[in-house]
Structures are given as structure tokens and as C-alpha cells.
Amino acid sequence: MKDPHDMATPRPNPGRGPAKSARKRKAPPAARNMDIAPILAGWDYEGGTVSVRKIIGLDGREKLQMRLDLGVLQMELAGRPDGRRPHNLESLLEYHERRLARHLRSPASTPRFFLDAAMCRALRDEAVLYDQRYLALFVLGDFAGVLRDTGRNLRLLDLCAQYAIDDHDRLVLEQYRPYMIMMQTRAQASIEFHNSEFKKSLETIAAGVDRIREFFVKFGQDDAIAKSSEVALLKSFAQDVSKKVPVDPMIRLREKLELAIKRENYEEAARLRDRMTLRKEKPRASRDNAD
């Protein structure tokens, strides 16, 4: 009986010279169709920019594509970006959150809940997938998707910070918290901005800046607040939003009055005072009529 290894792997025969090679084989049709060149044609990579688009996949569902220098990155729009379902759940984070929920319902004598180094490493790898997706979604203006994914990754940071065994695993992701807060804040404020809720948008931005400030204070890095690119970006966004907030007419008249007095244009100042008096009396007259 022949050795099965002899049948599977041809061996060289030094006595007869090199074996005759078989005719050049053509790549099967399926292999030829795997070339991504047609996908990249007409979609040039531009360094320093994030170029993304939505497409319809072979399964009929929308997918997200990001252009890279050597190709393209494709992600699912819902669930885990790579389409995998660890433990038949959306993500590893959901799996560990369910573990924690079961632990919190268990008797007090149950051993403490923890995340070991391997678990934290896998969670960090998963977080990168969601980071890439929410960046792409922000470029496309899908702010609801950004809120979903940033909120999800911030939960992951909280879980590791509280339950990781090793100090490194508890702290290594914290450096990215200000960026995630900034992206989450921009997404929420952008939704409000597009809904013409300008004052609400400004309040959201201010709350985001406060959260980042609290982060730096917590880690004893008060000086980092002034240098934070995340804070600077949010403040710049607030300036843009402020331009859309209607100015109180009385404030505008008061500013004009101060300017007229400064220029010693007393006639203009008197006229402005009259207008301010009329504006103050109108609401009073309306209340008297209502009575």
C-alpha cells in the first residue's frame, strides 16, 4: 500500500533532472473576479482626507467603504463592522456586558467579575473597528450612527477601567476618551444645528467641553486643557453655531447706543434711547391689555 504522503506531495527525482512542468494553468473564473481594480477605478486616494461612500452589497444591504492608499476598507453599517457575531451576539462588548449583568444578579458570595489581559486585548481590537466606522459615518453626515458607535466605545472604556485586572488594561484606552467625547459631542450638536436648535447645540458643546475638562482634572493634567485639540475644535464649532443664534434686539440696540456715545453722536444716542424705551413699554402695554 502506498504511503498517502507520497500521493499528496510530488517529490523531486534528482536522477532524471527537473520534472516536466504542467501546462500553465489559467486562474479559475472565481479567482479572476477577486481583483479589486474595478472597484478602485475612478476612486483615487487623496492623502490627508477621509474618502468614504455607501454601496449596496451582494446581500442587498448597504455597506460602508473607505478608500485607503492600497485599497478599500468595507464595513457593515449595523452590528459589528466586520460582520462577525462573537458568541452569537453583536459584539464582544455585549457579551461581557451580559456577563456583568448576570454577575450583578448573582449571590454576594460569587467570585468577583474581572477582565483578564486577553479579554481586554480583544475588546481593544474590536474598539478599533468601531472607531473606523464612526469616523467614516461622521464624514457622511450620519450623526446618529456616530452617536451609536461613540457611545458604545465609551461604554467599553468604562468597562475596562472598572474591571480590568491589570493597570495597563485599565488605563491604556483612557488617552482616547477626550477624542471620543469630542466626536460624540460634535455629532449631537450637529443634529441640533441642522434642526435649527442653535441654543441647544451650544449647550451640548459646552457640556462636551466640561466632560473633557473633568477628564484632565481627574488625571491631574489641568494644564492639558488649554492645549487640548479636542477642546479647541469644540470651541471653534461653538463660534460657528453662535453666528446662527438670533441676537436679542435690546442687546443690539444697547451695543449701538454705547458706540454712539463713544463717538459723541448724541443725537443718534437719543434716538436709540427712544427706541429702547418703546421696546420696554410694548410688553407692559400688552400685559395691561390682557388684564
Per-residue DSSP letters for 22-39? PPPPPPPHHHHTT--HHH
Spatial separation of the C-alpha atoms in residues 217 and 221, rounded to whole Å: 6
95 lies in some domain = no
In terms of residue numbers, what domain contains 264? 249-282
Number of H helices, E strands in the chain: 13, 3
Query: What is the predicted pLDDT for the residue at 13?
Result: 41
Residues 6+ apart with CB under 8 A from 38: none
Q: Tell me, yes or no, whether 262 and 276 share the same domain.
A: yes
Given this model, what pLDDT does residue 284 score? Answer: 57
Number of domains in the chain: 2
Measured between alpha carbons, how far is 119 from 46 in angstroms, rounded to an integer?
36
Supply the pTM of this predicted model.
0.74
Task: Give dist(CA 208, CA 181) in Å, integer.
Answer: 7
For residues 222 and 256, state if they share a domain.
no
- Give yes or no: residues 258 and 239 share one domain: no
Q: CA angle 283-287-289, nearest 5°?
A: 115
- Residue segments in the chain with a per-residue pLDDT below the cut of 70: 1-32, 247, 282-291
Residues 235 and 222 in one domain: yes
In this structure, are 196 and 236 located in the same domain? yes
Same domain, residue pair 219 and 260:
no
